[in-house]
């Protein structure tokens, strides 16, 4: 029986509505193919040192059927449920609980990139942008530099993935509040539960600005009513979200009351990690060589930026003139706020609640990235609709802006600490920018030429060229992003000797002793040659090998939050949010050198690793005893060598005349000489089993220390006694 034509038409339409979803899923897997299919894992930055450990302890608790409330393993004890960054109540994290943290975060990255692509595509379609241009808009946001650079902060990526959806729901709520305020509230709750409250604050400011901007586009007689509706919808959605987020909000507020951030940050702290104008050209254009600090990356590609420029220049009477105004305003707002300390206005904002709760103003680039993606969609749609209106003056102006940013990238040489590798663009990056700019101009010309062709097939083919060129550029530029510099799974799972030894020490202790690690990671693993041979078999890049070595060294010193993975209690830790508490900060101030600043994010390991202390400024033993700190881990970078023997310079013992130092010999090791490192004008007096050893005729200078050998008449396994005839310090 033949189907009715109307039914067949509807079926075809529904089937074709799915093709953008399939395309976006394919783009996700294509651009993230190494993360999806190679078996390698993310192994650096916050992913490795922060999120893997916290996901491990959270998942372990949930797998046992209990909430993760507390861990004794970092910061001398730390609340878990109250820390929103664990994402304990975020529903999309629950299916990942049985997986290892690397696999769970891998799947979460892929899922949320796809979610961001789908959301930005849907938002573009809401603004009557056609499917091809909406795909371009989605690619600029979801596959651009801003989201790609934040895959190492999984909770931030999760929150950002909801950003276009929230703008879409808010826009719908402005027209149909009864129908869409509740979905907007659910979306806000989901974003909050991801655990990155700064993203929620940025989203709230962005939505409020968007609502006001929409109101200003209304006829003058409707503006006041429109403003009230916009603010009312947003406020009501926030109120409706409160019951949904209460399980996380209540313990988080309790933790906030004892956090270093309870009274807000001072302006200097609140403006830390502002977008430096010197790095602007490197951050807003893709890199093919150096790795830009992730918070400063927000490129949408040279082609994406060019399309956004076209979107800004659409005629006033164009269908998309209103979109140009709204998304252009959001783009400019995001960029200006991201400048932070370099924007005089931000110094005033930094005193206000909300703005003074968070560091890293550069994160306002989230609004820039979303606004630019919508402008790119508008620009491509305008180009597809009327390519003849894009004349050479506009093309020249857009190219001039891009070339100005490219020239400005040379200023990055004044801020090289923000780039891993060459701060100034190398030939590879210049070529990449040049090819992309040429492709942008060429596709414009082809579109103009195609409109004059009598054959529609050529016209349809030309309409897809800008999108294909954009995707090719974004794919090529992703080579230096974190999701393409991966490491072997053993970077997380392999148990180094230090971990095995510490677990053995703690096995019979109740409570187990705590650990303090002090190191700047300047040492090499003892088996580095073997490790590099293994990495070479897998074809890891030089950067991936470097990242793998850093992960290995962090396991060697069990820091900063790796104690959570292995169940080894530590006095130290790392957190950039509500932890550690101000009480921890006040106590650890007693353990730091007098001229050191109090720590508000932990990292005693780095603060105590001073060259002036020969690599380890040891805290007073009374504070270590009070905290049950029984183990000290340091490296051997500052050991001094003499005749193939390494002398540990970590500990110092000051001797005054009449105060002998007795050193037992429990292993009954026989010695016929004693070597000493010391400082002081006089030579120590050394006795071995009561025999006064013959002092050295002269001492050698090793770094700033004196070395000497005291010779015995015959070998002895007796105890050692050292005395001083004058003030002397023994190493």
CA within 13 Å, CB half, 231: 6
The values of phi and psi at residue 33, to 5°, are: -65, -35
What CA–CA distance (Å, rounded) separates 642 from 639? Answer: 10
Does the pLDDT of residue 184 top 60, yes or no?
A: yes
pLDDT in tens, 632-666: 999 988 888 888 888 888 888 888 887 888 888 88
Q: What residues does each domain of the chain span?
A: 21-484, 495-634, 640-730
What's the Cα-to-Cα distance from 706 to each of 366, 679, 730, rounded to whole Å? 57, 6, 10
Q: Looking at residue 531, what is its pLDDT?
A: 93
- Both tokens assigned to 504: 């053995």
HEC letters along 397-460: HHHHHHHHHHHHHHHHHHCHHHEECCCCCCHHHHHHHHHHHHHHHHHHHHHHHHCCCCCHHHHH
Q: Which of 35, 90, 89, 79 is nearest to 57 (CA)?
A: 79
User: Cβ(402)–Cβ(437) under 8 Å?
Assistant: yes
How far is residue 172's CA from residue 151's CA, in Å, rounded to a whole number? 29
Strands (DSSP E) found in 298-428: 419-420
Question: Do 491 and 556 contact (CB within 8 A), yes or no?
Answer: no
pLDDT tens-digit map of 396-450: 999 999 999 999 999 999 988 888 888 899 999 999 999 999 999 999 888 887 7
Residue 677 has pLDDT above 60, yes or no: yes
Most confident segment among 75-79, 592-596, 702-706, 726-730: 75-79
| 378 Cβ contact partners less than 8 Å away, ≥ 6 residues apart | 127, 129, 133, 310, 311, 314, 320, 323, 324, 327
| pLDDT, tens digit, 9 for 90 and up, residues 115-130 | 999 999 999 999 999 9
pTM equals 0.92
Residues 6+ apart with CB under 8 A from 446: 462, 465
The answer, yes or no, to whether the previous bond of 122 is cis (omega within 30 of 0) is: no
Token pair 């590099």: residue: 532
The answer to whether residues 729 and 678 touch, using CB atoms and an 8 Å cutoff, is: yes
């Amino acid at each position: 029986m033949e189907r009715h034509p109307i039914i067949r038409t509807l079926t075809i339409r529904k089937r074709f509505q799915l093709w953008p979803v399939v395309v976006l899923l394919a783009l996700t897997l294509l651009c993230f193919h190494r993360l999806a299919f190679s078996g390698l894992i993310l192994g650096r930055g916050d992913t490795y040192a922060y999120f893997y450990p916290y996901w491990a302890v959270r998942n372990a608790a949930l797998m046992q059927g209990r909430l993760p409330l507390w861990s004794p393993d970092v910061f001398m004890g730390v609340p878990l449920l109250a820390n929103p960054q664990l994402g304990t109540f975020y529903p999309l994290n629950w299916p990942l609980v049985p997986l290892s943290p690397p696999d769970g975060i891998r799947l979460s990255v892929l899922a949320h990139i796809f979610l961001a692509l789908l959301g930005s595509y849907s938002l573009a379609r809401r603004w009557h942008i056609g499917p091809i241009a909406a795909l371009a808009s989605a690619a600029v946001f979801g596959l651009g530099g801003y989201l790609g650079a934040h895959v190492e902060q999984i909770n931030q990526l999760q929150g950002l993935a909801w950003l276009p959806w929230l703008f879409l729901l808010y826009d719908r709520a402005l027209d149909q509040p009864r129908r869409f305020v509740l979905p907007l509230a659910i979306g806000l709750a989901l974003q909050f539960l991801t655990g990155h409250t700064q993203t929620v604050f940025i989203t709230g400011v962005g939505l409020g600005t968007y609502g006001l901007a929409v109101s200003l586009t209304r006829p003058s007689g409707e503006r006041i009513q429109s403003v009230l509706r916009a603010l009312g919808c947003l406020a009501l959605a926030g109120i409706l979200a409160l019951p949904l987020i209460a399980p996380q909000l209540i313990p988080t507020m309790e933790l906030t009351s004892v956090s270093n951030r309870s009274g807000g940050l001072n302006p200097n702290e609140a403006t830390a990690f502002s977008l430096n104008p010197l790095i602007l050209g490197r951050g807003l254009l893709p890199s093919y060589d150096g790795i830009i600090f992730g918070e400063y990356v927000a490129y949408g590609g040279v082609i994406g930026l060019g399309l956004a420029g076209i979107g800004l220049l659409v005629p006033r009477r164009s269908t998309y003139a209103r979109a140009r105004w709204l998304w252009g305003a959001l783009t400019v707002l995001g960029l200006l706020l991201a400048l932070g300390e370099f924007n005089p206005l931000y110094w005033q904002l930094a005193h206000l609640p909300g703005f003074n709760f968070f560091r890293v103003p550069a994160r306002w680039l989230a609004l820039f990235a979303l606004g630019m993606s919508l402008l790119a969609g508008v620009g491509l749609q305008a180009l597809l609709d009327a390519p003849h209106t894009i004349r050479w003056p506009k093309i020249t102006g857009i190219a001039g802006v891009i070339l100005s940013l490219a020239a400005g990238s040379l200023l990055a040489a004044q801020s090289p600490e923000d780039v891993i590798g060459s701060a100034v663009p190398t030939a590879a990056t210049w070529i990449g920018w040049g090819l992309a700019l040429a492709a942008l101009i060429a596709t414009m010309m082809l579109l103009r030429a195609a409109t004059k062709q009598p054959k529609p097939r050529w016209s349809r083919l030309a309409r897809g060229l800008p999108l294909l060129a954009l995707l090719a550029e974004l794919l090529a530029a992703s080579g230096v992003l974190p999701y393409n510099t991966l490491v072997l799974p053993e970077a997380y799972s392999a148990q180094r000797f230090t971990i095995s030894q510490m677990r053995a020490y703690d096995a019979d202790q109740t409570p187990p002793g705590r650990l303090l690690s002090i190191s700047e990671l300047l040492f090499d693993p003892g088996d580095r040659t073997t490790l590099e041979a293994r990495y070479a078999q897998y074809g890891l890049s030089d950067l991936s090998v470097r990242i793998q070595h850093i992960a290995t060294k962090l396991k060697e010193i069990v820091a900063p939050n790796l104690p959570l993975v292995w169940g080894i209690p530590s006095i130290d830790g790392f957190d950039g949010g509500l932890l550690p508490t101000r009480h921890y900060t006040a106590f650890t101030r007693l353990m730091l050198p007098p001229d050191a600043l109090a720590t508000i994010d932990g990292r005693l390991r780095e603060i105590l690793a001073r060259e002036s202390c020969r690599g380890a400024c040891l805290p007073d033993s009374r504070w270590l005893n009070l905290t049950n700190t029984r183990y000290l881990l340091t490296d051997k970078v500052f050991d001094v060598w003499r005749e193939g023997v390494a002398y540990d310079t970590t500990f110092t013992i000051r001797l005054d005349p009449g105060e002998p130092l007795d050193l037992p010999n429990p292993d009954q090791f026989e010695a016929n000489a004693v070597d000493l490192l010391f400082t002081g004008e006089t030579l120590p007096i050394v006795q071995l089993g009561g025999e006064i050893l013959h002092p050295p005729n002269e001492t050698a200078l090793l770094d700033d220390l004196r070395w000497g050998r005291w010779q015995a008449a015959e070998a002895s396994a007796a105890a050692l006694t050292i005395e001083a005839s004058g003030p002397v310090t023994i190493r």
